[in-house]
Structure 1
Amino acid sequence: MVVPSVLNHGASQTLPKSHIEAVLSVRPLKVTEPRQVRHVSVKNTNSKNISGCYNIILYYQKLKEEEHGLFLVGWIVESLARVLLDYPLLAGRIQKKVENGDNMEFEIVSNDSGVRFYEARFPMNLSEFLGLSGKECFEGELVFWKEIDEHNPQFSPLFYIQVTKFECGGYSIGISCSLILEDVLVIEKFLKNWAEINNHMLLQNEKKTPIFCHPLLKNEDPPPIDVISRTPCQNGTHTMLFKITAQGINFNMELWRELAMFCIDEAEEKLQQKLGSDFCLFVKESCKIIKVEGCSSKSVYSKEVLGLKNNIIEASWNDFGVCGLAFQEGSKPIHVSHSIGSVRDGHVIAVQCPRENVSVVVIVSLHNEK
């Protein structure tokens, strides 16, 4: 295949588009019993602010065995159906319950609607893509996201996976997850369990053909355009992570707001970028409750927040252990990319963390309006 030339450098260069070859919904291997439910409370904002997603892309070099390369997606789909047994909300949908002006109530229900799965090809070698200047601007071709329909949210998947094969035999696995669905800590566990299941299945079924063997199932007709149209990747979003190391804190929404504002001030100073007066705060109180609230930024803090100042330190995406994930034994990713995508304004995501010496992880995304 002739690869279209890459023009110029940096943001002005142009790339070919990924070609979607197959689309399917992957459901948990068994019906989820009992059904899980997550309550989503949206306050002082509109339904558009339940938008946004957490993206992660893992890049892998060419598979060692040609046969495994042929059946790559088939095994990934089978192992995905198995791991979803432990994460049924990923295969669920959101339902609107109550609406009162800018205050709304939603539920995410594990109704086994399925994770939306895409198989794609990209007409370029992996090393060439990774060597691009400003490649982050083009990663939207490797991770699929379609914004939640604010009028009919129940028809919108909340979790997408795209496996993209490069010309050289390398491939990427792109994950896109709604901010109201899960957080980076849960996705880290999900990916580790998924990789373990996939590796085990490959070892147990060496030389066998997976049930979902796409080379046998594909046809020449492209998927319908309404299935493959995606929300464009918005450039200009910069993200910083913070972790709070103090223990025994009694969190409430007022404290969450102040901690978010403090982290925004730190991010603005570090990134030399102003957020503005308003932002959207996501707080995951538990696995059953998430609160979304429109807030106004201010730089006046209580004694409690000032007392935590020395315990709020900058973190890194590398603190989340997905860099060593191998979906085939001995094949770890050569690069991992994280981002918060499709955010219109400033977003702050706060998650209580069960790890040793860390009580909270705060993610600040500043959107640069041009």
Structure 2
Amino acid sequence: MASHGNSLVPKVSIKGFHSVTPMRITEPRQTRRVLSRDLVGPEMFQRCFNMVQCYMKGEDSGWVVAGWIKESLGRALLEQPMISGRLQKRDRNDGELEIVSNDSGIRIIEAMIQTTLLEFLDLKQREEAEAQLVFWNDIDEHNPQFSPLFYVQVTNFQCGGYSIGISCSILLVDFFLRTEFIKTWASIHNNIVDHNNERKLPLFYLPGFNGTADSSPNLTSASTPNKNESKTMVFKINAESKNMEVEWCRQIALACVEDAENGLGSEMGAEFCLFVNESFELIKVESCSKHGMLKPKLKANMEVIYANWDDLGTNDVSFRLGNKPVHVSHWFGSILGGVVVVIPSPEEEQGAYTVNIFVTVPNEKF
């Protein structure tokens, strides 16, 4: 329960789990190879990207929004069916992995919390509490084909406000960010709501509960990532040509590590992981060591832009026209020694190609 002194973290109680699959069978199947240059440990199956958007009470409650989401997501997944796919082993002998758009679906969680949204945002430990607004279960290392790669949690506040929390495997984060999936989804969602005025409630509607968080079982995942465990710095590199050779990306990424350490006041671990999203068909993963690592310099013809999470444009995403989020938060979870993610822009912008680099370092104060 929340206290008037804003010092205690209120607990979220989960009221329902649902699965959503694309509205049509994905044909032909899409695949993405996960190519590991080095032997990468089980932490590859734990890392995820998280985003929370908080909305004040509008025309609909969070329960109603969640109901419409179950309808809109099925249509949105037609645009990016890989998000509803699964990670599997290509060959049991070589251990190489791939993601297949097999339409297994994503998970939607409906939850409630015994505090108002304004009280929640005013919490002294708000960043710790935000971890409860997303749901994540680590991918099963031995049987990954049974684990969802994408979760959506809608949490209802006492005031009628709500939050939409998203957790996505780091192996698919570029499908979410690079294609602006959430904007496409929100547009589909609003079109459905606007054209269903005669049907006031969605087909899949779970009414609100009167129980308290204390009387309801706390089903929040034990592996829900804590926002405080890491800090991220975002870079944009403008290059003269589109060259996504892994070594080129590796040099650019490593050149950004030192700047991120200085800017964030924390150091990357001795061992960290590099994810290069070379294309939608291939992601390369390697383990990097700071021991003996040369510090590459960026070429003079490469423009470095220090970006931030706001550049993603998620502050303007509405799931009811006119009701923009009052708070948005992003972070990478389960980063251990550190993570560098390289995501190219989908196309040429103003005569140059842009590479987005997310450098996430452990929070030394956590």
TM-score, reference length from structure 2: 0.89
- Correspondence for 2:265 among 258, 261, 272: 272
Larger displacement relative to structure 2 (182-191 or 234-243)? 182-191
Deviates more, 1:236-245 or 1:46-55: 46-55
Structure 1 segments unaligned to the other structure (5+ residues) = none
- Aligned counterpart, 2:354: 359
Q: Distance in 2 between matches of 1:316 and 1:98?
A: 39
* 1:158 alignment partner in structure 2: 149
For 2:339, which of 324, 328, 347 is the aligned residue? Answer: 347
> How far off its partner does 1:228 sit?
5.0
SS in 2 for 1:118: strand
Q: Please tell me the residue identity of whatever aligns with 2:145.
A: Q
Q: Tell me, yes or no, if the aligned pair for 2:229 and 2:363 is still in contact at 8 Å.
A: yes
Q: Relative to structure 2, which stretch is displaced further, 165-174 or 150-159?
A: 150-159
Gaps of 5+ in 2: none
| CA distance 1:315–1:185, change in 2 (3 Å) | farther
Report the Cα offset of residue 329 of structure 1.
Answer: 1.2
1:288-303 superposed matches below 5 A: 288-297=281-290, 300-301=294-295
User: In 2, are the aligned partners of 1:188 and 1:321 still within 8 Å (CA)?
Assistant: no
Offset, 1:69: 5.6
Summarize deviations over 1:319-345 as a string: whole Å, max 9, x none.
Answer: 111111111111111111111112222
Q: Please name the residue that 2:186 is paired with.
A: 195
In structure 2, how many angstroms separate the alpha carbons of the residues matched to 1:69 and 1:307?
Answer: 49
Structure 2 residue aligned with 1:211: 203
The equivalent of 2:116 in structure 1 is: 125
Identity %: 42
Q: Is the CA contact (8 Å cut-off) linking 1:47 and 1:150 kept in structure 2?
A: no
Structure 1 residue 30 corresponds to structure 2 residue 24: yes
**What do the CA deviations read for 1:72-99 (whole angstroms, capped 9, x no partner)?**
2211110011111111111111101246
**1:361 positional shift:** 0.2
- In structure 1, the residue matched to 2:161 is 170
1:308: how far off? 4.5
Q: Partner of 2:115: helix, strand, or coil?
A: coil
- How many Å separate the matches in 2 of 1:60 and 1:78? 20
Structure 1 residue 150: Cα displacement: 1.1
Q: How does 1:40-189 map to 2 (within 5 A)?
A: 40-50=34-44, 51-64=46-59, 71-98=64-91, 104-183=95-174, 186=177, 189=180
1:258 aligns with 2:251: yes
Q: Structure 1 residue runs of 4+, over 4 Å off?
A: 224-228
Distance 1:323 1:288, change over 3 A: same
> What letter matches 1:351 in structure 2?
I
Q: 2-side partners of 1:308 and 1:212: how far apart?
A: 55
Give the paired residue count.
355
Structure 1 residues 92-148: Cα deviation after superposition (integer angstroms, max 9, x where no partner): 111012467xx8410111111110110000111001111123411111110111111
User: Residues 40 and 286 of structure 2 are in contact (CA less than 8 Å); yes or no, is this contact kept in structure 1?
Assistant: no
Change over 3 Å in CA distance of 1:134–1:70 after alignment to 2? closer
| Separation of aligned partners in 2, 1:228 and 1:268 | 32
Q: Tell me how large the CA RMSD over aligned residues is.
A: 2.7
- Aligned partner letter, 1:77: K
Whole-angstrom CA distance in 2 between matches of 1:338 and 1:203: 29
Cα pair 1:95 1:106 within 8 Å, conserved: yes
- Whether contact under 8 Å (1:243, 1:358) holds in the other structure is no
Deviation at 1:169, TM superposition (A): 0.4
Structure 1 stretch displaced more, 358-367 or 348-357: 348-357
Shift of 1:49: 3.3
1:337 is matched with which residue? 329
1:17 — aligned with what? 11
Supply the distance in 2 between the matched residues of 1:328 and 1:227 (Cα, whole angstroms). 28
Give distance in 2, aligned partners of 1:328 and 1:228.
27
Task: Report how far residue 6 of structure 1 moved.
Answer: 6.0
**Matching residue within 319, 322, 328 for 2:314:** 322
